[in-house]
Chains A and B, each alone.
Chain A
Amino acid sequence: MNEELDFEATMAELERIVSALDREELDLDEALRLFEDGVRHVRRANELLDAARGRIEELIETSSGEIRTADLEIDEEASEDD
């Protein structure tokens, strides 16, 4: 839902997992479980980065004074002119 939190939280979780794995005191099956968790998080992070293109919209004020959004076309190929 919240892409920002999701990605950031995923990365934070990965950080925690990697540093936990670096500690001695885990036993092997605990380490394996963490590793699998970590792999899941890596996959999740990549999914978030592969998410669909964001929308480009514009705020429009209707004749009744109501504000709504409309898709906006921007010609990104046009050359810089200023």
Chain B
Amino acid sequence: MSEVAQFSLFEAAARDAEAVEPAPQPAAPGETAESAVPVSELNAAVRRLLEASFGPLWVIGEVSNWRRTAPGHCYFSLKDESAQLPCVMFRTEARRLPTDPEEGMEVCAYGRLTLYESGGRYQLVVQRIEAKGEGLWRLAFQRTLRRLEAEGLTDPARRRPLPAMPRRVGVVTSRGGAALRDLVSVIRRRAPWTHILLSACRVQGESAAREICAALDAVVRHPGVDVVVLTRGGGSVEDLWCFNEEVVARAVASCPVPIVTAVGHEVDVTIVDLVADLRAPTPSVAGELVVPDGAELRAGVRRYGAALAAALRGRSRRADERVARTAERVGLGISRFLERSGARLEQLSGRLGALSPLATLERGYAVPLDPEGKVLRRIGMFLPGKHFRLRVVDGEVSSRVEALRDATPGGSAAGEGAR
């Protein structure tokens, strides 16, 4: 029996069943032991029947007995209270799942019904699985996060400070994206001297995770890159998914220089954000976080300039004050010296006055002097008839020795004495 004939036979049987007419044929295949149908033929026929009768469809149910085989194919059942449906998801499709669903998780599976001929098992060949809401994505997120947390990779204490003034900013993103443009324009505006090095990669799709890791690795190898920005513009959960992948998160966590992430919009938090040194809500904010504001730096320099001038003014004011104080002290010293000197002078001149012979002459004494000006103290120094001078307070008197008289006890008078 040819396959075509066999198929039409079963088709005919199906049509007849629908028509609710009794089968008129006497010796249809399988009707008698003699016309028995081989198992493989039957299964093949049922499979064709099944595949022809149902187009691809969505089935809702709870996941049961999920298992992933070594080659990557996944087997499970969908069930509800009273029935279950065997399902298979082959490797190509299964690879796109963010994670394996949990036991009992309610999902919608999209696929084609078929019969697994060698096992005689009817099954749904699943192409897509969607959990309620973002169930699978959230589940995958939580699972990865738990693993990273367990290793301490999300510990805030791991976060490094960013360099105050990076020489070269490494950027990992797609070449044509708005994220790159926004980031570059902010860096240009704030710190135009900063070098920027792009390491381009795909930021969505199946190869994205691998490409991001490679681009990150390449950019940090480049000399002079002292901070990295990993960024991407907004997108759906699925678009941003690569930033939740464990391999990317680990590459970010082990980045040798500080790394800032800016993925999607402000509300999108991805796993890389949780292991990075800093998360920026948008690419533009990332630019503001990685480079200083040149205008602020300039203001800082100006403040130092002003502080220098003020300090110098302070110094010279203090110096002036010191000079004034010193001068004051010096002046005080001089006047004190003068005061003291004056008093001493007076005292000295007083004593000088007391010693002066003029004072004695004033009192009425006179001093005899020989022509040479020698004071004549004894009568023996006077020679009778000799001239001498007599010094009185206001002048001299020319005199002559007339007679001499000794006034000492036992002395004899001689001559005539002074006149």
Contacts and interface: CB of A to CB of B under 8 A. Distances in A.
Interface of A: 2-4, 7-8, 11, 14-15, 17-18, 21-22, 24, 26, 28, 31-32, 35, 38-39, 41-42, 45-46, 48-49, 51-59, 61, 67, 69, 72, 74-76, 78, 80-82
Contacts of A32: 312
Interface in B214-235: 215, 218-219, 221-222, 226, 233-235
Nearest to A74: B184
Contacts of A78: 178, 181
B65 interface: no
Contact of A72 (B194, B198, B235): B198
Closest 9 interchain pairs by CB?
A21-B311, A82-B233, A54-B195, A38-B308, A14-B304, A76-B185, A51-B193, A31-B315, A58-B198
Interface residues of B, number: 51
B250 interface: no
A41 B298 CA distance: 13
B178 A4 contact: no
16 contacts: A7-B165, A11-B300, A38-B305, A39-B305, A39-B308, A45-B297, A49-B297, A53-B192, A54-B196, A55-B195, A57-B198, A58-B197, A58-B198, A78-B181, A82-B177, A82-B179
Interface centre among A3, A24, A41 (most CB of B within 10 A): A3
B163 interface: yes
Interface centre among B182, B226, B304, B307 (most CB of A within 10 A): B304
Given A38-B304, A49-B298, A54-B196, A22 B180 contact: no
Nearest to A70: B198
B184 A2 contact: no
B311 A54 contact: no
A57 B175 CA distance: 11
Interface centre among B164, B182, B191, B193 (most CB of A within 10 A): B193
Given A2-B167, A21-B315, A31-B312, A80 B197 contact: no
Contacts of B304: 11, 14-15, 18, 38, 41-42, 45
B308 A18 contact: yes
A42 B198 CA distance: 33
A14 B278 CA distance: 30
B152 interface: no
Nearest to A67: B218
B188 interface: yes
